[in-house]
Amino acid sequence: MSTPAWLAAAHLIAQLGAPAVAAGPRPAAVDPAAPTGAVNLQIDPEAAALRDELMRGLAGLRVPGAPAPYRAEVRTVRAQLLSLDGSYGGVIVNVLDRQSAGAVEVRVGSPARDNTNFFGGDSGIAQLEVALDLAPRFAAKKLWLALDSAFRGATKAWSLKQVVLKRLASAEAAPDFTPPGPPVQMKAELAPATIDRDGLAAMVASLSARFSEHPGIDNGDVHVQILRTQETVVNTEGMVLQWARDRAVLAVVADTKAADGMHLDHGYAIHLRGIPAADDALLAAGEKLVDQTLRELAELAAAPMIEEDYDGPLLFVGDAAAQLLGATIATEAVGTPAPLAENGRMVDLEPSWQGKLGKQVMPSYLDLVDDPTTAGGFGSYAIDAEGVHAPRLVLVKDGRLDALLMTRVPNAKVSGSNGRARMTPALESAATISNLVLSSKRKGSTVAQLERELLSRAQEDGYEFAFVIESLRDGAVLGPVPRESAAAYAGTGNLNLPLPARVFKLEPGGKRTLVRGAVLAPASMRVLRRIRAVGNQARTVPMRVAVGAYGGFGADVGIDGALSQTVDAQVTSPDLLVDGLELLVERGEHEKPPTLAHPLRRKDKPPANP
């Protein structure tokens, strides 16, 4: 589904988030296993009007010679968002606003074969205006107009899809959709809350003033964002779902240039739920985050370039191991089949593990579990965006792929949802992870033991050194890499991994040297079969991941989309010693440093902010 315009215009009204203290509001729910007649939750008048208009459209939308609709769904979001951006002691963005948006999807034909999962056109999706406050008549009118547009798009896509299906030799085995379960209703409203806008703005100014202590950094910002949303999904199958969410992020982003002109960026975020208070605890966490970001960026700018391409073993420690899984499992363990196009299935968009059910995808001593029921888990939820309860799911057992992340869209081998449809505030819905845990039946090794094994294996590959990766670049905070040369075009697969943010050259005797200019070549999911050893301690990393084929930890949505275009998740993993990845030297031309020196590098420094 396309992103609503108000959420795409992120640079004008940054989609927000900020640190959280208060717990999010709890929805009232009706037992989704109850029979249809028992689902009688008193939904709000607007949701009732949307439901009635959907049913009217389902019965009345007809065009001679075209298939009738069999299902329609409308999604709406109302948001209150605060965006604060501070730089060098000044607050440059301080916006508090309310916004709303909606979208409707129409399916024509039948669950066996409809207009969806077809590449080309809008495939039956249309946007609609939503009032800032409940307005049943306005909602019904706007939905009436949007339904007509979505229906026309759906019939056109259905016709094009039929032409392609008749021309292709291979017939589709899997249906396009699975039947609905019992109707589900869940109601939730945002509780009244106070956002300390002035206090948070003063904190952002204070935190960003610390940049003056790091004159080697060219530019930097401290962001505090808060996004409060009420999201509603209504369809013609009797489902009415509402979520009320308070989500927040405190982020530090900075950039500079190395002596050779390479443009470098770095950043970290604290991902939180609830509405933060501008208190001493948050200020202390922010100060630590600023200092760490700027110190590490200065170290990176002074670091030598990686000297040669390397295809020996790599050790992922700290956050990097969890981030590696977040960049791979979140997209490649999804069960949604690749879309159909004019020349057949777009196999490049088929998740890699979809054809691996029952096969070895990891070493036999590893298990991989996704559990949205984890108490206190950052990615926990009860009911997914399609109204399906989300149970604990064993993805990998004894190294073999046991299950996929399924929505109601089946594939050739699996039919039926396991509750993994996640919806972002931008109203995009697709399967992804929740609380992902990698565990080992073997006793793990200490970091020192892993490093010794790393060097030993590297020596077998002909290297007198190896590399340790501490973290991967977080595109949900930093956005796209500011250098075209950072794209790697070599490798053994089509899985694009984030750039290493902190990578060290490890030599015998324990010497560690931070290096820059390293790129992880496109890889294959086979690399997870080549996990050679694991650490003895696991680390849990909260993260915000985009959904869909281009989602996961590797999605470059940037700080403006860090809340609006993502869902909450967490990954728990021990350190990982991995074979089968290539570390390439980034080769490219870099711009010359500015002619005029940075003002903070002058001997006669300008006066501080008042």
pLDDT of residue 5: 31
**222 in a domain, yes or no?**
yes
Rounded (to 5) percent helix, strand, coil in the chain: 25, 30, 45
Q: Are the CB atoms for 431 and 336 separated by under 8 Å?
A: yes
66 and 209 together in one domain: yes
Q: What is the pLDDT of residue 608?
A: 60
Q: Which carries the bigger pLDDT value, residue 606 or residue 215?
A: 215
Residue 527's contacts (CB-CB under 8 Å, 6 or more residues apart) are 578, 579, 580, 581
Are 295 and 322 part of one and the same domain? Answer: no
DSSP 106-133: EEEEETTEES-SBSSS-TTEEEE---SS
Q: Which pLDDT score is estimated for 606?
A: 57
Percent of the chain with pLDDT over 70: 89
pLDDT of amino acid 257: 93
CA gap 407, 117 in Å, rounded? 13
Specify the pLDDT at position 22: 30
Q: Which CATH number covers residue 187?
A: 3.30.2290.10
Q: What is the pLDDT of residue 491?
A: 62
Confidence of residue 344 (pLDDT cuts 50, 70, 90): confident
Element (H, E) at 56: helix 45-60
Do the domain assignments include residue 606?
no
**Which sign does the torsion angle of CA 339, 71, 244, 144 carry?**
positive
Residue 1 confidence (pLDDT): 36
319 and 297 in a common domain: no
333 and 281, same structural domain?
A: no
Question: By C-alpha distance, which of 194, 206, 74 is closest to 142?
Answer: 74
Q: How far is CA 48 from the centre of its chain?
A: 32
Q: Is residue 353 part of a domain?
A: yes
For 419, list phi and psi in degrees, rounded to 5.
80, 35
Do 438 and 370 contact (CB within 8 A), yes or no? no
Percent of the chain with pLDDT over 90: 80
Q: At residue 541, does pLDDT exceed 70?
A: yes
* pLDDT tens-place string over residues 30-77: 333 333 333 557 889 999 999 999 999 999 999 999 999 999 999 999
pLDDT at 603: 59
| Residue 122: predicted pLDDT | 66
**Which pLDDT belongs to residue 610?**
59
Most confident of 7-16, 333-342, 503-512: 503-512
Residue 604 domain-assigned (yes or no): no
Confirm whether 413 is domain-assigned.
yes
What is the band of 15 on the pLDDT scale with cuts at 50, 70, 90? very low
Report yes or no on 309 lying in a domain: no
Q: Which two tokens stand for residue 606?
A: 């300008």
**Do 455 and 573 reside in the same domain of the chain?**
yes
Q: Cβ(154)–Cβ(128) under 8 Å?
A: no
For residues 283 and 375, membership in a common domain is answered with no
- Return the higher-pLDDT residue of 14 and 508: 508
User: Domain check: are 332 and 210 in the same one?
Assistant: no
Over residues 483-494, the pLDDT tens digits come to: 888 877 666 567
Do 256 and 348 fall into the same domain? no
Can you give the pLDDT at residue 42?
82
Q: Does an H or E element contain 574, and which?
A: strand 567-578
Q: 6 pLDDT band (50/70/90 cuts)? A: very low
Is residue 597, in this structure, part of any structural domain at all?
Answer: no
Shared-domain flag, residues 204 and 72: yes
432 pLDDT above the threshold of 50: yes
Under 8 Å between Cβ of 375 and 451: no
- Residue 600: its pLDDT value, please? 74
Phi and psi of 486, rounded to 5°? -80, -10
Q: Is the pLDDT of residue 459 over 50?
A: yes
**Residue where the block lists tokens 């988030």:** 17
Residue 243 has φ and ψ, to the nearest 5°, of: -125, 145
Query: With bands split at pLDDT 50, 70 and 90, how would you rate the model's confidence at 124?
Result: very high
Return the DSSP state at 603. S
pLDDT digits (tens, 9 = 90+) for 501-537: 999 999 999 999 999 999 999 999 999 999 999 999 9
Structural domains counted in the chain: 2
- Per-residue pLDDT at 91: 98
Question: What Å distances lie between residue 554 and 167, 351, 446, 497, 544, CA to CA?
Answer: 36, 15, 28, 6, 10
| C-alpha dihedral (57, 63, 66, 70), degrees to nearest 10 | 10
Instruction: Single out the residue in 276, 302, 328 at which a domain terminates.
Output: 302
In this predicted structure, which of 114-123, 205-214, 446-455 has the lowest mean pLDDT?
Answer: 114-123
What's the domain range around 403? 314-585
| pLDDT of amino acid 14 | 34
Place of tokens 């589900």: 184
395 with 333, same domain: the answer is yes
Say if 596 falls within a structural domain: no
Residues 350, 267: one domain? no
Least confident of 11-20, 325-334, 373-382, 562-571: 11-20
Please give the Cα distance from 299 to 27 (Å, whole number).
47
Annotate 29-53 with DSSP letters as a single string.
Answer: E--TTS-GGG------HHHHHHHHH
Same domain assignment for residues 470 and 346:
yes
